Amino acid sequence: MSDLGGQLSITLLCGGVGGARAALALSENFPSNQLTFIVNTGDDFLHMGLEIWPDWDTVVYHLSQLSDDQRGWGRADEGLRCMEEFGRLRAPIWFHLGDRDLALHVYRTWQLKSKSAHRVASDITSALGIPTTVLRVTEESLATSLLLKDRTVMDFQTWFVGHQSGPEVQGVLVPGAAQASVTPGVLEAIASCDLLLFAPSNPFLSLDPILKVPAVAEAVARRSGPKWGISPLWNGKAVKGPLDSLLAQIGTSRGQQGIVDYFRVWVDRLLLPESERVGLVSGDLALEGCRTLLADRLKRREFCTDLKTLWSKL
């Protein structure tokens, strides 16, 4: 395969903080005009009348260096004046909305009255000076919900934030996937890139909703070029979020084996820490050692160095 530098075009399927960090890693180490990020819309949320796009916003905040790196979501250098007033007004305060973040939700909700979601998204990325293409997988929300052990259904943000992903899960429902319209450019980006990468996102909450959109699943399955997954586990544990318990509740196995079981139907290679490849039953899925941590710029560079090395070995 050709050496990388500017020749390697990559499309990343992503969601959550792990997805945003993978997007940042690629944007720091590859030319932006070779990159397309396709973001989960299952976490989207209409809250207090405002259109909130958590996974897309998290990617955009990371790429524009505006994100709160500690929490992984929301803005750095935030104010809480509106939250104080929401409290005084007895408005909901379980979902944290900083002042700067709120400006984005107000602006977006206003713009969506007269423009398509993909037009508003590209207006925001250009206003924030982001050169990379950051596409929502669908125009509408996929409305991810959790089917709980007690057979009730809870919407994603109520479960994830409102209940700190505590209630035990029987399954993940993505009611919006069947009817959703795929955002222009998504199917093309999946088909025509040199490398299709699945970010180290929660497979059940961030990747599955994307892949439950029929046209997207078809485009991925039909694609003949390389399709690589990146394990979201390190030392067999989730770097962030509720993945460990979800693997126990709805996965086929715990730890890396559960990740292998998930990815083997979608990708031809899985990147995971070298020391964790041993003992896994992976069938025809190739397991590649890789430095997969992305918490700072140096680790993200190391990840991309390994990615380039693996690519040049093809």
Cα-Cα-Cα-Cα torsion 258, 270, 42, 36, nearest 10 degrees, comes to: 180
Q: Which of 288, 290, 313, 287 is nearest to 303 (CA)?
A: 290
Taking the complex as a whole, how short is the minimal distance between the CB of residue 173 and ligand FO1, in angstroms?
Answer: 16
Taking the complex as a whole, how short is the minimal distance between the CB of residue 181 and ligand FO1, in angstroms?
Answer: 21
Q: Closer to ligand FO1 at the Cβ: 20 or 196?
A: 20
226 within 8 A of 269, measured Cβ to Cβ: yes
Q: Closer to ligand FO1 at the Cβ: 160 or 198?
A: 160
Q: Closer to ligand FO1 at the Cβ: 199 or 307?
A: 199
Q: Closer to ligand FO1 at the Cβ: 8 or 130?
A: 130
Distance CA 100, CA 299 (A): 29
Taking the complex as a whole, how short is the minimal distance between the CB of residue 288 and ligand FO1, in angstroms?
Answer: 26
Q: Name the CA radius of gyration of the chain, rounded.
A: 19
Taking the complex as a whole, how short is the minimal distance between the CB of residue 294 and ligand FO1, in angstroms?
Answer: 15
37 within 8 A of 23, measured Cβ to Cβ: yes
Distance CA 16, CA 200 (A): 9
Taking the complex as a whole, how short is the minimal distance between the CB of residue 118 and ligand FO1, in angstroms?
Answer: 18
Taking the complex as a whole, how short is the minimal distance between the CB of residue 306 and ligand FO1, in angstroms?
Answer: 25
Give bridge partners of residue 196 from the DSSP assignment.
11, 227
Distance CA 105, CA 111 (A): 10
- Phi, psi values for residue 69, rounded to 5°: -65, -25
Interface positions with ligand FO1 (CB under 6 A):
16, 43, 52, 54-55, 57-58, 73-74, 95-97, 101, 157, 160-161
Q: Closer to ligand FO1 at the Cβ: 40 or 231?
A: 40
Q: Closer to ligand FO1 at the Cβ: 81 or 96?
A: 96
